[in-house]
Structure 1
């Protein structure tokens, strides 16, 4: 929309927010200068660049519909749609589902929230374009925790039920993606992982979920929480499917917000030989010794690690004392970063890459009109992040980020000595669905992501692979590798999968 000259009252309000006290003369001066600056804003507007990723105008696609309850019994889908992929690619004939914070041109994107419900992107995310070019067909958008803030599997559109027992939840925030592959409704699904959001529901639903090395898969066209921790990743029933998908979506994107440089990629499925003889695995003690740990889950994970030992891997216990507190530090850093991102219309400033004008403008309008519809988890982060930032001048955020630099050094030192680190993805099984439990109770959830979230900030690749069951509910083993060595945790997961099958 055209920019208009700010009023004197608006300038005074803005000055107050910026801790400025303007005299009447200053107000008049800045209003006159603003009028002159408007011409420059109009120059930018006249170009109005709208790059179309994936050439949506030439693809066969439908806008999609919300599936009825009888066709969506676990509430895993938000929208069923069809976007046809190219012929002859390596994924030709595959049905792909996308978490509903991944842009598909012409298809509504809700982020699991009433706040942005109704927003329709005008671009395909880079990874979507790559999937379509590889021959995959997009068949729908999957349900997720409201705005990606949660680990249980609860969107504004209701709970996402566990495919193994619908009295339990799927986990989050990529719960719908885990469910549709577990149920065979898609060959592969894309989730996004900001603190375990791919690996946690993969563990709870008994599927494979991989959080790639930071930067390996572009986040362009996806809605995130914080640029430093956002990772898109594949989820499927088998490791090979995950690896083949990763081969397609990996690779640099010059438009990406994070780092416009070349990253090392490979054909990850070609590394899946299941040979772990000579592989060294460090079993992180602090990943098991958690107050909320279910001893039966711990036993299943140790059993899975023992299976890798039986296949020839060397197993040793290691200690990373800061890992015990890494989840708490992550939550402190995330709150302040989310508050800053929300004030910047969910995108932020000061990076070189592609900005999505459609999303920025739409989210800004939605946020200002409907912020009360944010879930308690988002409101808590906004309030605490803003409070700590303003009252304590971001001191705790800075200290927390510095602690993560030390933790990166500790993980890297261990990964120089061992090929992989191992621990439970989550030390419990899926949470029980309680219809009486409201969003404020869910905001009290602590600990679920404590083994997963550290590797969002350190950037190491991590795979969750099924490791057993407790009372009929799946348990996940998390395998963590060195940066850009995504093939090693995938191959160890492949070896374990072969034995357990």
Structure 2
């Protein structure tokens, strides 16, 4: 019940003061909706508009995951999170575009084509780019996305909205098409509420934000999380491994669209999956193979445990999932030899962590489509550590001086400390004084 109350409160705050924009021509140009509902203009007082990422099941609209495999599919049931929000006054306005099966960082790997930001040709980030744009344009007060390694927070940073990834398991995933079960988290977006190569404009915006927070009764101290340098590599071993297993059912025989060919299985998967999904299936299948499992998959699992212990070491609040008597203590042997002793020991414990959401500003859509795979994966460098540890995180929008684009400030909290995290993130946003261009709202 406590979770439901928090969810209802957040959604009502997100929706207050925003009407519905019925600009269907803009929708088509931005390509952020793949299907839509006609909604009445006279909505009840407590109602709010909701956009749903197209890998979350709805009964009234198809659920395609932006993949040819599921283009004709309509779910016979509704995802638990959608049903819960409908009970709290949500009116679904449509299903939003995404990277196929949630695999991507720029919403370009879609059977429906790429998503673009309003008034520009910039990438909205991914994979929940359609949901972020639906909120940024005012066509939805709240949007549902999924966050496996940053897929809610990265689009929020690029489009100047708020993106919230709850603690792992806080919101039900029933009715969400899985990508990587141990990482997948349903998230919400709303309008209100090598690191040395960090873009200088991101660095300047981050420094200004830290200074503003420092002047608002908060003590800001540097924190060392040595193991997080390996988090991105571990994520791109673990997530594709789980994806290769989850997507095995799409074979044209048991499930999914079927290709007309003698070799039905291979032909269906070749025709039904896009290039990025095929790449991750191959990566995952290899890391789970007998000859590679010890060197890749099991090593990545070890990194994940050490990353979580890094976070537990610096947070003042204990992790409720960890029994301190049974948990092995943090050992300096877990930390690479090249890390200085002061960094190994770390500073005094903290309540929340602040860092950039993304290392760069939003690229153009054409630039994003021309990126190499590794260059695209690096965009997740700041969001993946919290995902591996199952921690809640909020991306708060930051205006970039002299640039029309947005950056994001990520606030990370301890596991299940979501209520305090949301309160602190709201205070941070008020301290920064950042709202959507020309329109201030309430979060």
Structure 1 residue 83 displacement after superposition = 7.9
What TM-score do you get using the length of structure 1 for normalisation? Answer: 0.69
Aligned residues of 1:292 and 1:447 also touching (Cα < 8 A): no
Aligned residues of 1:195 and 1:229 also touching (Cα < 8 A): yes
CA RMSD after TM alignment: 2.5
Aligned residues of 2:105 and 2:377 also touching (Cα < 8 A): no
Q: How far, CA to CA, are the matches of 2:38 and 2:298 in structure 1?
A: 45
Aligned residues of 1:169 and 1:431 also touching (Cα < 8 A): yes
- Which residue in the other structure is 2:352 paired with? 420
Structure 1 residue 483 displacement after superposition = 0.6
Aligned positions, number: 368
Structure 1 residue 468 displacement after superposition = 2.1
- Which residue in the other structure is 1:73 paired with? 29
Q: How far, CA to CA, are the matches of 1:436 and 1:213 in structure 2?
A: 30
Q: 1:44-443 alignment to 2 at 5 Å?
A: 71-81=27-37, 92-154=46-108, 155-163=110-118, 165-239=119-193, 290-345=195-250, 361-363=254-256, 368=265, 370-372=268-270, 373-395=272-294, 396-416=296-316, 417-434=349-366, 437=369, 441=372
The change in CA–CA distance for 1:150 and 1:437 in structure 2 (over 3 A counts) is closer
Aligned residues of 1:69 and 1:75 also touching (Cα < 8 A): no
List alignment gaps of at least 5 residues for structure 1. Answer: 1-66, 240-288, 347-358
Q: How far, CA to CA, are the matches of 2:374 and 2:307 in structure 1?
A: 27
Deviation string 1:368-427 (CA, Å, 9 cap, x unpaired) is 453224222211111122123225252111111111111101101111221101110001
Aligned residues of 2:250 and 2:269 also touching (Cα < 8 A): no
Residues 1:495 and 2:427 aligned together: yes
Aligned residues of 1:419 and 1:481 also touching (Cα < 8 A): yes
Deviation string 1:94-120 (CA, Å, 9 cap, x unpaired) is 010000011001311111122211111
- Which residue in the other structure is 1:57 paired with? none
The change in CA–CA distance for 1:325 and 1:125 in structure 2 (over 3 A counts) is same
Aligned residues of 1:301 and 1:468 also touching (Cα < 8 A): no
- 3-state DSSP of counterpart to 1:168: coil
- 3-state DSSP of counterpart to 1:224: coil
Structure 1 residue 329 displacement after superposition = 1.2
The change in CA–CA distance for 1:435 and 1:115 in structure 2 (over 3 A counts) is farther
Task: Point out which structure has higher relative CO (alpha carbons under 8 A, 6+ apart).
Answer: 2
Aligned residues of 2:150 and 2:380 also touching (Cα < 8 A): yes
The change in CA–CA distance for 1:183 and 1:384 in structure 2 (over 3 A counts) is same
- 3-state DSSP of counterpart to 1:445: helix
Q: How far, CA to CA, are the matches of 2:410 and 2:66 in structure 1?
A: 26
Aligned residues of 2:55 and 2:65 also touching (Cα < 8 A): yes
Aligned residues of 1:304 and 1:468 also touching (Cα < 8 A): no
Q: How far, CA to CA, are the matches of 2:256 and 2:395 in structure 1?
A: 33
Q: How far, CA to CA, are the matches of 1:195 and 1:302 in structure 2?
A: 24
List alignment gaps of at least 5 residues for structure 2. Answer: 1-22, 317-348, 435-443
Structure 1 residue 80 displacement after superposition = 0.5
Deviation string 1:292-345 (CA, Å, 9 cap, x unpaired) is 410110110121122111111100001111112211111011222211222255
- 3-state DSSP of counterpart to 1:111: coil
Aligned residues of 1:74 and 1:166 also touching (Cα < 8 A): no
Q: How far, CA to CA, are the matches of 1:83 and 1:167 in structure 2?
A: 29
Q: How far, CA to CA, are the matches of 2:293 and 2:247 in structure 1?
A: 16
- 3-state DSSP of counterpart to 2:394: strand
What TM-score do you get using the length of structure 2 for normalisation? Answer: 0.78
Report the structure number with the largest CA radius of gyration.
1
The change in CA–CA distance for 1:222 and 1:399 in structure 2 (over 3 A counts) is same
Structure 1 residue 201 displacement after superposition = 0.1
The change in CA–CA distance for 1:107 and 1:291 in structure 2 (over 3 A counts) is same
Structure 1 residue 492 displacement after superposition = 2.1
The change in CA–CA distance for 1:419 and 1:444 in structure 2 (over 3 A counts) is closer
The change in CA–CA distance for 1:322 and 1:443 in structure 2 (over 3 A counts) is closer
